[in-house]
Amino acid sequence: MRPLPVGDHGLLIELDDGEDVGALHAELLRRRAAGALTATGEIVPAARTVLVTGIPDPAALAAELPRWQVPPLAPTARQVVEVPVRYDGPDLAEVAELWGVTEREVARIHSGTDFRVAFCGFAPGFGYLTGLAEHRRVPRRATPRTRVPVGSVGLAGTYTGVYPRPSPGGWLLIGTTDVVLWSPEREPAALLTPGAGVRFVPETAV
Amino acid sequence: MSGRSIRVVRAGALTTVQDTGRPGYAHLGVPRSGALDPGAHALANRLVGNEPGAAVLETTLNGCAVRADTPTTAAVTGAPCRVTLNGRPVAWSGPVAVPAGGVLSLGPAEYGVRSYLAFAGGLAVDPVLGSRSTDLLSGLGPEPLTDGATLPLGPARPVRPVSAPTLPWQAPPAELVLPLLPGPREDWFTDGALRTLATGTYRVSAASNRIGLRTEGPALERAREEELPSEGMTLGSVQVPPDGCPVVFLADHPTTGGYPVIGVVPQEALDPTAQAVPGTPLRFVLRRRRAAPGRN
């Protein structure tokens, strides 16, 4: 665990992998809720880091962090969001070729994976979901699409994501969902919040 | 609806609704947004008797014009500009009584970039996640103003007189000097890069916007060329994209990013960036981190 300074009142805590990020993020939220951590700003998990801002004394927190007992992520304790999906994306065939399997098998592998929302970014409610194995890694499109439709389910690297609104994007699109990813009237506004578990449920049998 | 509203006569280059933004949602990918010049925003509200965080209009370079559908009190702060009511000059940085049907017009900024126009009662557009701010990065909040649009006003409070000498206003500096605390990724750059950043003269680029203050000047050389996994970004982060020219993240900045941050400008030093016109000379002054705890 390497805490790096961010301005006068922030720390960027670098960790070894996404699992450690998820565990520390959960621990930071627990401590803040219990009044044991003063951080009046944001707590933002990402790929290998957690950013914490609004810390009165970041040097003291940085010194204390290595002594924290951070329990590992408990998968069973997590809330699991089910996302109905049609595996009909325009890049399904390309992903099948990259993985060396049939299109139907892509759907089976994807819908059989326990995903976790590692972090959000890019757009409100866009979650970066981890869970696919390293050998399922795929590149981004060489030329991003200028408009990806809302609800598109895509792959980039080992991440899966769902576009919460139409936007440009370079992810390989394998499917579509009708679920509303982002609604400011809802609490929380994002369907997929950091730490949540996610399962993709095919609308038709695969 | 009370029927209190204003109608946009001339929207200007870019006029948006702004309040104090929506902090606390960065983990969902939501930028904080909010007025770029918080001092001018709060002052405009004070002049019309509003709570300091009420929603106002933020203009960009060439002002705007609006018609009041009901009698109201307005005030213009931030970048000084010619303010007229039905074509006659009225006070800048003071309360102006606007009759029903009166057209209040803000001319081009004489210096600075952004003027703030507050109305008694504040702009009462529907809040999104607790804020009425337009977020230009992610599209939350109301669209930027368009000619003919109507914006509702909230109920006004009685205006308490504010005497002019209590209203200091700092003119935009001829040179922007931004303190910079190194990190978190200064080790992704060569030793020379930090020296270049601290001694080089940059200029504010015309590509600057509410997302970031872009710069032109000596490029900063990376010591590590690999890709940085996306990480959390904060207000004032100085991110260095592949062209080597630092970008200072402002209110509408993305919540995560994949280019290394060489240093961070403390939030309290960012206000002048809101009024820095393209071409303004810009210097970064390295500041070592204070040892003592307990500031806020």
CA–CA min distance A20, chain B (Å): 14
B28 vs A120: CB contact, 8 Å cut-off? yes
B231 vs A46: CB contact, 8 Å cut-off? yes
Nearest-angstrom CA–CA distance, B46 and A141? 51
* A-B contacts (CB, under 8 Å): 123
Helix A103-111 to helix A92-99 angle, to the nearest 10 degrees?
Answer: 90
Helix H, strand E, coil C: the string for A101-138 is: CCHHHHHHHHHCCCEEEEEECCCCCCEEEECCCHHHCE
**In this structure, what are the phi and psi dihedrals at residue B192, rounded to the nearest 5 degrees?**
-65, -30
Residue B296 above 50 pLDDT?
no
Tokens at B58, concatenated: 């933020």
Nearest-angstrom CA–CA distance, B118 and B77? 8
Model ipTM over 0.90: yes
CA–CA min distance A184, chain B (Å): 6
Instruction: Give residue B168's pLDDT.
Output: 67
pLDDT (tens digit per residue) in B3-56: 799 999 999 999 999 999 999 999 999 999 999 999 999 999 999 999 999 999
* Alpha-carbon distances of A133 from A37, A180, A198, B26, B38, rounded to whole Å: 34, 27, 15, 28, 47
Search chain A and give the residue with CA nearest B231: A46
Rounded average pLDDT over A184-189: 92
CB B149 within 8 A of CB B240: no
B295 vs A56: CB contact, 8 Å cut-off? yes
Instruction: Give residue B170's pLDDT.
Output: 73
Rounded average pLDDT over B202-227: 96
Pick from A16, A24, A51, A187 the residue to mutate for testing the B interface (most B CBs within 10 Å). A51
Beta strands in B224-280 (DSSP E): 231-232, 237-239, 247-249, 256-257, 261-264
Nearest-angstrom CA–CA distance, A48 and B226? 15
Rounded average pLDDT over A22-47: 96
pLDDT (tens digit per residue) in B117-151: 999 999 999 999 999 999 999 999 999 999 999 99
Residue B159 above 80 pLDDT?
no
Rounded average pLDDT over A24-50: 96
Q: How confident is the model at residue A133 (pLDDT cuts 50, 70, 90)?
A: very high
Residue B218 above 60 pLDDT?
yes
A5 vs B183: CB contact, 8 Å cut-off? yes
Instruction: Give residue B295's pLDDT.
Output: 39
pLDDT (tens digit per residue) in A8-29: 999 999 999 999 999 999 999 9
Task: Tell which residue, B81, B79, B71, B4, has the closest CA to residue B43.
Answer: B79
Which of B254, B256, B293 lies closest to A56 in CB terms? B293
A6 vs B237: CB contact, 8 Å cut-off? yes
Rounded average pLDDT over A191-195: 95
Three-state SS for B166? Answer: helix
Three-state SS for A86? Answer: strand
Above pLDDT 70, what percent of chain B? 93
Number of neighbours of residue B166 by Cβ within 10 angstroms: 7
Instruction: Give residue A191's pLDDT.
Output: 96
Rounded average pLDDT over A51-80: 90
Three-state SS for B188? Answer: helix
Search chain B and give the residue with CA nearest A182: B28
Task: Tell which residue, A175, A206, A199, A44, has the closest CA to residue A114.
Answer: A199
Residue B206 above 60 pLDDT?
yes
Nearest-angstrom CA–CA distance, B251 and A51? 17
Tell me which chain A residues have a C-beta less than 8 angstroms from the C-beta of B129.
184, 189
Instruction: Give residue B289's pLDDT.
Output: 74
Residue A100 above 50 pLDDT?
yes
Nearest-angstrom CA–CA distance, A141 and A164? 19
Three-state SS for A97? Answer: helix
Tell me which chain B residues have a C-beta less than 8 angstroms from the C-beta of A46.
229-232, 256
- Helix or strand run (H / E) with residue B17: strand B16-18
Rounded average pLDDT over A32-59: 96
Q: How confident is the model at residue B181 (pLDDT cuts 50, 70, 90)?
A: very high
Enter the DSSP assignment of B131: B
Rounded average pLDDT over B226-239: 96
Nearest-angstrom CA–CA distance, B191 and A83? 48
Task: Tell which residue, A100, A170, A112, has the closest CA to residue A136.
Answer: A100
β partners of residue A161: A154
Pick from B25, B28, B178 the residue to mutate for testing the A interface (most A CBs within 10 Å). B28
Nearest-angstrom CA–CA distance, A117 and A9? 27
Mean per-residue pLDDT of chain B: 93
Burial A92-125 (b: 16+ CB within 10 A, else e): bebbbebbeeebeebbebbbebebbbbbbbbbbb
Rounded average pLDDT over A46-63: 97
Mean per-residue pLDDT of chain A: 95
Instruction: Give residue A205's pLDDT.
Output: 73
pLDDT (tens digit per residue) in B86-127: 999 999 999 999 999 999 999 999 999 999 999 999 999 999
Instruction: Give residue A76's pLDDT.
Output: 62
Task: Tell which residue, A29, A35, A131, A127, has the closest CA to residue A75.
Answer: A131
β partners of residue B261: B239
B231 vs A48: CB contact, 8 Å cut-off? yes
A4 vs B185: CB contact, 8 Å cut-off? yes
Contacts of B73 (CB under 8 A, 6+ apart): B48, B49, B95, B96, B97, B98, B119, B120, B156, B159
Q: How confident is the model at residue A204 (pLDDT cuts 50, 70, 90)?
A: confident
Pick from B186, B231, B284, B289 the residue to mutate for testing the A interface (most A CBs within 10 Å). B231
Pick from A15, A120, A150 the residue to mutate for testing the B interface (most B CBs within 10 Å). A120
pTM: 0.93
A123 vs B138: CB contact, 8 Å cut-off? yes
| DSSP string over A4-73 | EEETTTEEEEE-SSHHHHHHHHHHHHHHHHTT-----S-EEE-SSEEEE---S-HHHHHHHGGG---PPP
Residue B292 above 50 pLDDT?
no
